[in-house]
Amino acid sequence: MRWLGYAIRFWVMGTLLSWYALRYGVGRFGTLFIRDAEHRRRAVARLRGRILRVGMARLGATFVKLGQILSTRPDLLEPETIDELRQLQDRLPPFALARVRGILEAELGGPLEERFLAFDTVPVAAASVAQVHRARLADGTEVAVKVLRPDVRRKVERDAAILLLFARVLHLSPRARLSDPVGHLRHFVAGILEQTDLRLEVENYRRFGAHFASAEGVRFPRVYGELSGERMMTMEFLRGTKVDALPPGDHRALAMRLQRVFLKMCFEDGFVHADLHPGNLLVTSSGDIAIFDVGLVKHLSADVFLQFVDFTKCIVMGTPHDFVRHMQRFHSYATDVDWLAFERDIEDLVTRFRSLDIAKLEMGQLMNDLFGLGRRYRVRPMAEMMLVLVAMVTAEGIGKQLYPGNNLFHDTAAFLAPRLAGLGLA
């Protein structure tokens, strides 16, 4: 009967896609009456994002997660589209306590009451892949118990198989083929599937804990391996305030500390939290930054450091031709790129960037402009470098929420200088 489930899901997906394609077509027709080209482009990108956001929310957990991942890819989508996708809520209706109990007791090999002194029936959070309940151990320690949604892995695999069919159809278009829809879909689904085995997240917590053991003011929750398994994970329950909900005040030191966390992950450890946003960051009562939800991580090769250094040199002191050579060496691109036109546009961008006062420089704006050029000329960063750039833009955005005068360029230079000197590159 498995084929029947696929057929029904395919019919539901096809019906919803047809409906939202029609809505997009009607909305797209309306944008034809906007005379200003740039205003029309933004309106179309916003419309595309709104249709994607609403459609993904209706299609369920797999698509909500897919939308969240897409919202971190400015090399693929325009800023207005990404702004819409970022609105996807990370809260879904919780599943029944009876199902929670069944999963936990199967993983623990015994009654829930034998392992927990108390267990809250109402979850404190319910997301696309799992939900979290507060509980107490026999010694009174307060813990958070993360439980996978029932059959979530099977549902993701089913949706992925159907989406792959759509991607292969899309791949028939020469224009769409340049974006490698099949390859990107496989990459996205692999990231979601990683989060359906909580044993991997337990190991990620342990590894991050080891990397930041000597870092002052940074905490990852302790995990309890004996109370964790493939479908459940028990960890320390930490209380605090989300970084985007802190009261007004001077949070400069906090912003700098958070940026050092990002930079250490990228350039020292090569082990990066790939889903780090304000919702996964708390500031405890003692002023520590607590970091959660480490199911999605990326391992970076040592070459990423040198690639980033070369990229930075091109921005700060290189010629437009140096920048083109960097793109040709480290990025993927179509076979018919007009490199002369690309070089002229890079020259305009770099000239404008270098004319700004250093206090006004913003990594986010520079990356948006560069990604815009990349989309126009079909030049895209390699996946690892893309992750670093997105992580740094995220760090800058959160840093400016904490302290508007935050300057990522200055802090990055200070962080990298001793490492460059050690390599003889300073």
Q: What is the spatial distance between Cα 186 and Cα 299, in angstroms, rounded to a whole number?
A: 17
Burial of 179 (0-12, 13-18, 19+ CB in 10 A): middle
Per residue in 124-135, pLDDT tens? Answer: 988 888 999 999
Per-residue confidence (pLDDT) for residue 422, from 0 to 100: 65
**Which amino acid, one-letter code, is at 170?**
L
Return the bridge partners of 126, or none.
131
Which H helix or E strand runs over 236? strand 232-236
Active site residue 336: no
Q: What percent of the chain has pLDDT over 70?
A: 92
Per-residue confidence (pLDDT) for residue 75, from 0 to 100: 60
Average pLDDT over residues 263-288: 87
Most confident among 9-18, 31-40, 105-114, 179-188 (mean pLDDT): 105-114
Per residue in 349-391, pLDDT tens? Answer: 888 888 876 656 677 778 878 888 888 888 877 777 777 777 7
Of the candidates 222, 219, 224, which has an alpha carbon nearest to the alpha carbon of residue 281?
219
Most confident among 147-156, 222-231, 246-255, 363-372 (mean pLDDT): 222-231
Question: Of 91 and 122, which is predicted with more confidence?
Answer: 122
Q: Residue 418 contacts by C-beta under 8 Å, 6 or more apart in sequence?
A: none
- Residue whose entry in the numeric block shows the structure tokens 């018919």: 336
The yes-or-no verdict on residue 1 having pLDDT over 60 is: no
Residue 88's φ and ψ, nearest 5 degrees, are: -60, 125
Per-residue confidence (pLDDT) for residue 406, from 0 to 100: 75
Q: What percent of the chain has pLDDT over 90?
A: 31
Per-residue confidence (pLDDT) for residue 317, from 0 to 100: 76
Per-residue confidence (pLDDT) for residue 124, from 0 to 100: 92
Give the CA distances from residue 224 to residues 115, 204, 212, 233, in Å, rounded to whole numbers and listed in that order.
12, 13, 18, 8
The yes-or-no verdict on residue 419 having pLDDT over 80 is: no
Find the Cα–Cα–Cα–Cα dihedral 229, 232, 235, 238, rounded to 10°.
170
- Residue whose entry in the numeric block shows the structure tokens 């108390």: 118
Let me know the angle formed at the C-alpha of 397 by 39 and 395, rounded to the nearest 5 degrees: 135
**Which amino acid, one-letter code, is at 277?**
H
Per-residue confidence (pLDDT) for residue 179, from 0 to 100: 63
270: left (phi over 0), alpha (psi -120 to 50) or beta: left
Per-residue confidence (pLDDT) for residue 424, from 0 to 100: 59
Find the Cα–Cα–Cα–Cα dihedral 350, 353, 355, 358, rounded to 10°.
-140
Burial of 50 (0-12, 13-18, 19+ CB in 10 A): buried
Average pLDDT over residues 232-248: 91
Of the candidates 330, 418, 305, which has an alpha carbon nearest to the alpha carbon of residue 381?
330
Q: Exactly one of 75, 159, 275, 293 is catalytic; which is it?
A: 275
Let me know the angle formed at the C-alpha of 166 by 162 and 169, rounded to the nearest 5 degrees: 140
40-44, 137-141, 179-183: least confidently modelled range: 179-183
Per residue in 163-214, pLDDT tens? Answer: 888 888 877 776 666 667 777 778 778 878 888 999 999 999 999 999 999 9
Q: Are 147 and 232 in contact (CB under 8 A)?
A: yes
Q: What is the separation of C-alpha 341 from the centre of its chain, rounded to a whole number of angstroms?
A: 32
The yes-or-no verdict on residue 221 having pLDDT over 80 is: yes
37-41, 94-98, 186-190, 251-255: least confidently modelled range: 186-190
Read off the pLDDT band of 233 (50, 70, 90): very high
Return the bridge partners of 242, or none.
282
SS3 (DSSP) at 333: strand
Per-residue confidence (pLDDT) for residue 423, from 0 to 100: 61
The yes-or-no verdict on residue 273 having pLDDT over 70 is: yes
Burial of 137 (0-12, 13-18, 19+ CB in 10 A): middle
Of the candidates 140, 297, 119, 141, which has an alpha carbon nearest to the alpha carbon of residue 206?
297
Q: What is the spatial distance between Cα 296 and Cα 172, in angstroms, rounded to a whole number?
A: 31
Task: Show the tokens assigned to 83.
Answer: 């702004």
Find the Cα–Cα–Cα–Cα dihedral 80, 74, 174, 327, rounded to 10°.
140
